[in-house]
Amino acid sequence: MLYVDSSALLKAYVDEVDSATAVTYLNSDPVVVTSWVTVAEVRRNLARLLEGAARSKALAAFEADLDAFALVSAGERVCRAAATIGEVLGVRTLDALHLATAQQLQVPALPFLTFDLRQAQAARSLGFTVLGV
């Protein structure tokens, strides 16, 4: 099982630094888990970073891939945990939601794929095995 945040997943659809690394990690585990929040984040960033046919192609690929992901809802329990994580660790709101979602899975040393340094530091402090950064 591999938890993937939006910064890592976006690299599969937009050619960025570390895209090849992200894709390798994504293909290395049969169970990729992320939050439903990722859908909004990735689509927003695809709209921001790409135009025209490139945007349409990336969006279609992302939407097709969603069926293969285990998507976790950010319900009350996750949101309350995210609030605490944000207060204690000082991470941004969406990063706190990803961390709380991964924490809800209750998998010791869960691999957590991110390319966001601040989130990686927070994930390590919560006991995740951080990949990417």
Which residue ranges form the domains of the chain, and what is each CATH number?
2-131 (3.40.50.1010)
pTM of the model: 0.94
Nearest to 2 by CA among 19, 35, 26: 26
pLDDT tens-place values along the chain, 133 residues long: 999 999 999 999 999 999 999 999 999 999 999 999 999 999 999 999 999 999 999 999 999 999 999 999 999 999 999 999 999 999 999 999 999 999 999 999 999 999 999 999 999 999 999 999 8
Check residue 83 and give its pLDDT.
98
Instruction: 128-131: list long-range contacts, CB under 8 Å, 24+ apart.
Output: 128/3, 128/99, 128/102, 131/2, 131/25
SS (H, E, C) 33-68: EEECHHHHHHHHHHHHHCCHHHHHHHHHHHHHHHHH
Nearest to 55 by CA among 43, 66, 41, 67: 43
Check residue 85 and give its pLDDT.
98
